[in-house]
Each structure stands twice: as C-alpha cells, then as structure tokens.
Amino acid sequence: MQGPQPLGIDGAQLGAGLPARDIALGELRAILLHPSCGRVTRDEVWRHLIGQARVRRGAWMVAAVALAMPMLRRLAISICRSADAERDDVEAEVLTGFMDALAKVNLQWTHPLLRLSRLTRRSVARSGVLQRPCLLNDAETAEGRTLAYPSGHAELLLAKAVAQGIITAEAAEIIAVTRLENVPLSDYCRRRGLLYCTVLKRRQRAEARLRQAIVDGDLTGGDL
C-alpha cells in the first residue's frame, strides 16, 4: 500500500459504483469498510482481488490478506472462544486456510468474502489445530483397547522416537521446547528466525507420528 508504485485498481474499468479513477489499496480498504459500501460493490471488488491473487500471487496475495484482515481477526477470535487452542496456532491456520480458500472459492457465487470465511473455518477445523495433544496421559482408549503409554520422562520418550526414526531431532526439539517447557511457538520461531506456519505444520506432523507410534506399540517396552 506504500512506496513509489503502490498496488491499486482501476475504478473506471471495474465499475460497480467505484470512483472512475485509479484507487490505491489503502483507499480501497477504506471504501470497503465504509457503511455506505453496497454488497454489489464489495462482491465485485473481492472477485477482482481473488482473481489477481490467483494469477499474480506475490504482493496481490498479501494485499488480499490485508484487505480481509478485519474478517480474519473476527474469525480467529471466534474460533479461539469456542475451542481450547493456542491463539498463535489458530491465527496461523486461519492465514493458511484463507490463502488456500483464495484458490478454491467459486467466483460465480455471491458474497465471495463470506464464502472465503466459511472455507477458511472449514480448513482450520480439518487442520487438527483445535485438537489439543494428549500424548502423555496415563492411558487412553482407542479402537476398543487400552493403550499402555511408555514409562519414563517425556524427553526420554522423544529421544527414543528420534533414535527409532519416528521423528527427527529437530521435531523433537520443537515439541520439547513448546510443549514440555511451555515456550510459545511464536517465541520459538522468532528466536530462531523460522517461519511460524512451517514450524507449526512440522510440529503437527511429528505429534501425529508420535501418537500413531504409541497406538501401534512402537514406543512401548524397553527402557526409557
């Protein structure tokens, strides 16, 4: 939205009640958020933004996220209120889900922003971020049988999983620091200069492999 050549749209070409001139994205955001902005205008602008994000990606993908930020914030708050999940994890999944929804939403539908919101919510629900990990409970019933969890310290369990090739040493460190030491994942990523979404997905995959290994009995028995 800033710089010598900020992104914008041609209001004269797009029409839909917009001013017939070039409109920078900062001004476009103000237009869309104003109570006087009608649904037809809003829908046409969002169809254009979605099309630009799909074809040109890059800065236009960022622009779509920026213009959708009020909706994305409300969505993240709503999900956090209804589920026991970490705020950072939910926000990362909302962002990932929204960018995925930009590629999937049908531009022939009405209310494209509302459709994006619904697709994003579904993506978050499917991601598993709303399911709190419970790998180290004393016992758990699954598929009609009781699982015997390995005895010993959780860090030793992670070490054994690494030694058996179930998870990587890097994944074990992520789980140890963010789950056992309760360091927020955002802080972990910031200290190491890592992308939050990437590390979140890495932790989710590692925890899923750990859980499956326990279900299969691969981490039971032996000295931890």
Count of Cβ atoms closer than 10 Å to residue 152 Cβ:
13
**pLDDT higher for 92 or 82?**
92
Q: What average pLDDT does the structure give for the chain?
A: 81
What is the per-residue pLDDT across 125-175, written as a single tens digit (0 to 9) for each? 877 666 555 544 444 444 444 444 444 567 888 888 898 889 999 999 999
Tokens of 86: 């970490």
Q: Are 11 and 23 in contact (CB under 8 A)?
A: yes
From residue 206, how far is each of 36, 137, 161, 209 by CA, in Å?
A: 49, 17, 10, 5
> In the prediction, which pLDDT does 198 show?
83
Distance separating alpha carbons of residues 112 and 39, to the nearest angstrom: 10
Mean pLDDT of 55-76: 89
- The b-or-e profile of 71-95 (16+ CB within 10 A means b, else e) is bbeebbeebbeeeebbebbbbbbbb
> In the prediction, which pLDDT does 73 show?
92
Q: Are 101 and 123 in contact (CB under 8 A)?
A: yes
Distance separating alpha carbons of residues 148 and 215, to the nearest angstrom: 9
DSSP category for residue 151: P
Count of Cβ atoms closer than 10 Å to residue 111 Cβ:
13
> In the prediction, which pLDDT does 193 show?
87
> In the prediction, which pLDDT does 168 show?
92
> In the prediction, which pLDDT does 190 show?
85
Tokens of 35: 């109570």
> In the prediction, which pLDDT does 145 show?
46
> In the prediction, which pLDDT does 131 show?
59
What is the per-residue pLDDT across 31-40, written as a single tens digit (0 to 9) for each? 888 888 888 8
pLDDT band at 22 (very low <50, low <70, confident <90, very high): confident
Long-range pairs of 195-202 with CB within 8 A, sequence gap ≥ 24: 196/88, 196/92, 197/92, 197/95, 197/96, 199/174, 200/89, 200/92, 200/93, 200/129, 202/170, 202/171, 202/174
Calculate the CA dihedral of residues 189, 194, 196, 198 and round it to 10 degrees.
-130
Total-model pTM: 0.61
What is the per-residue pLDDT across 172-222, written as a single tens digit (0 to 9) for each? 999 988 888 888 888 888 888 888 878 888 888 898 888 888 888 877 644
